[in-house]
Structure 1
Amino acid sequence: MSQRYPLPQDDAPLVVFDFDHTLYDGDSGSHLFKWLIERDWWRVLLALLVAPVAGPLVAWLPTRRAGISVFVWVGSLGVRDRAALDALIDRYVVTHAEEIKARLLPLALDVFHQHRERGDNVLVATGAPPELARAILAFVAHEDVPVIGTLLGPKLGGMGALRHCHFAMKMTMIRAAGYTQPVARAYSDSSADLPLLQAAAKPVVVNPKARRVAMFRRVLPPGTPILNWGCPGRAGDAPA
């Protein structure tokens, strides 16, 4: 059962959390799509065939949505609508609950709890499908918060990314969802979330890649915290 928190007031500070490498150690969408692909031998073979083209697309920011869509499509061939995909996502979360729980970062969840206990308006905005982050938070972490994520829809007999919640589009989708107030605080690991971090009055970088730390120090306000919340292999200072 979800813990009871104060209901955020209309003027409550808006606090936005990324999900992957922020609350969760890893890329939750990749873990889901890997499971979807590995359900059938022919999906594995098809993924191997498209990987030489789709893999480089994922690695390059301007084509990332197209590359991700290819693997989503392979894993979801035969899935005709969002309801069927959401049912598969829920099944994945339920059957992998212990593995997922081990990937949720306790320090991150402590900060998450603190904001909710203060009555802040807490939102998760992620590049993963929103049902995935929502199911993980509800079933594994027992948290119920609004989630904005990459929108998937029918495409060529499977599902594909219609709107990728990534880079500037993340802020666009947050505003389109009705969150028009200033962002009081934002937490993210990724340079792809610079528009979100730069929109926040108090950005906090958590679990960044080591090679990105200098860039964050250069483009974000002096004194911006750069922390490691227990994500192995990532940079950042230990929290006080």
Structure 2
Amino acid sequence: MARSKRNYAFFDLDYTVIPHDTLFLLGNFVIRRQFWRIYYLLILVPAFGLFLVGLIGPHGLKRAFLCILAGLSAEQLAEWMDDFCARLERLAFPSVLAMITQHRAKGDYLVLNTASPQFYIERLATRLGFDEAIGSQFELKDPMPFWVRPLGPNNKQNVKLDHMRHLLPAEIISAAQSGQDQPGLAGSHAYSDSSADLPLLRAAEFRHVIQPSARLLAMAEKSDWTVHRPPLPFSGKAGKFLTALRQMLGLYPM
């Protein structure tokens, strides 16, 4: 794909456009359709323990999560993901959707760049008016296998910029990945909630943080980045944890 002559706007997804982890919401959505698929917790819980002690990586954890889709035909998966993404759109921060609309009205090239799986974020990106979606790639088969094979690295941190080499100049990517405090691409904007996205933020001239962590907030205030605080559907870390737990169990209305 040729580099666009338009200005760019890069958005993370989880806790940036949508105030939740979309994988937890995927589990919630599937269980509310077919409760028997709650079996996935028998795989996910021990996998999470292995992840915490470093025996498996992010892709291993995602594979454990995605076993919830095992046996779905390609037609079923497409139907479910269309419905899922319609529901995700309704859960998005209204103020962030307004920012997306403003960028689109200015003619900016919008990129949704996230570690979430490509097979649903590309649908969501289309619904929200993005020009391009970049996510973590997994091999989809008909029917869906129990263990989904990853295609490439987890799309996080520096990898996000590796996947935008067709959009950004090499010197911008190199400086952002090395942590240099440089101006970023002129006229571009980047949005995230997480310090894991510092490379993405540093690649843009205008840097926006959404409900940032204490660490990211300190960096944003020191560097005069724009801080956005849209209302959250939960209160504090305990509320965030309990909301995620409800979603894992299929108890969250959406």
% identity of equivalent residues: 25
2:220 alignment counterpart: 217
2:204 alignment counterpart: 200
Deviation at 1:112, TM superposition (A): 0.7
**Given the alignment of the two structures, is residue 16 of structure 1 paired with residue 10 of structure 2, yes or no?**
yes
The whole-number CA distance in structure 1 between the counterparts of 2:126 and 2:79 is 11
The whole-number CA distance in structure 1 between the counterparts of 2:25 and 2:58 is 17
Instruction: Indicate which of 68, 74, 77 corresponds to 2:70.
Output: 77
Using the TM superposition, name which of 62-71 and 166-175 deviates more. 62-71
Question: How many pairs are equivalent?
Answer: 212
TM-score of the superposed pair, with normalisation by structure 1 = 0.73
State how 1:84-163 maps to structure 2 within 5 Å: 84=74, 87-94=76-83, 97=86, 99-139=87-127, 141=128, 143-153=129-139, 157-162=146-151, 163=153
Q: Is the 8 A contact 2:114 2:134 kept in 1?
A: yes
> Can you give the 5+ residue segments of structure 2 that lack an aligned partner in the other structure?
173-184, 237-254
TM-score of the superposed pair, with normalisation by structure 2 = 0.69
Q: Is the 8 A contact 1:166 1:192 kept in 2?
A: yes
The whole-number CA distance in structure 2 between the counterparts of 1:146 and 1:191 is 23
SS in 1 for 2:122: helix
Q: Is the 8 A contact 2:13 2:113 kept in 1?
A: yes
Deviation at 1:111, TM superposition (A): 0.8
The whole-number CA distance in structure 2 between the counterparts of 1:95 and 1:217 is 33
The whole-number CA distance in structure 2 between the counterparts of 1:226 and 1:114 is 17
Following superposition, which runs of at least 4 residues in structure 1 exceed 6 angstroms of deviation? none
Deviation at 1:133, TM superposition (A): 2.5
Q: Is the 8 A contact 2:220 2:226 kept in 1?
A: no
Deviation at 1:230, TM superposition (A): 2.8
Output the amino acid matched with 1:164: N
The whole-number CA distance in structure 2 between the counterparts of 1:129 and 1:53 is 18
The superposition leaves residues 109-139 of structure 1 with CA deviations (integer Å, 9 ceiling, x where unpaired) of 1111111111111111111123322323445
Deviation at 1:36, TM superposition (A): 3.9
The whole-number CA distance in structure 1 between the counterparts of 2:135 and 2:42 is 27
Q: Is the 8 A contact 1:54 1:68 kept in 2?
A: no
The whole-number CA distance in structure 2 between the counterparts of 1:49 and 1:129 is 19
The superposition leaves residues 183-225 of structure 1 with CA deviations (integer Å, 9 ceiling, x where unpaired) of 42110111221111122222111122346423x338xx62111
The whole-number CA distance in structure 1 between the counterparts of 2:24 and 2:98 is 25
Q: Is the 8 A contact 2:195 2:215 kept in 1?
A: no
SS in 2 for 1:22: coil
Q: How big is the alpha-carbon RMSD for the aligned residues of Structure 1 and Structure 2?
A: 3.2
**Given the alignment of the two structures, is residue 227 of structure 1 paired with residue 216 of structure 2, yes or no?**
no
Output the amino acid matched with 1:11: K
Q: 1:231 to 1:164 in 2, by over 3 A?
A: same
Output the amino acid matched with 2:220: R
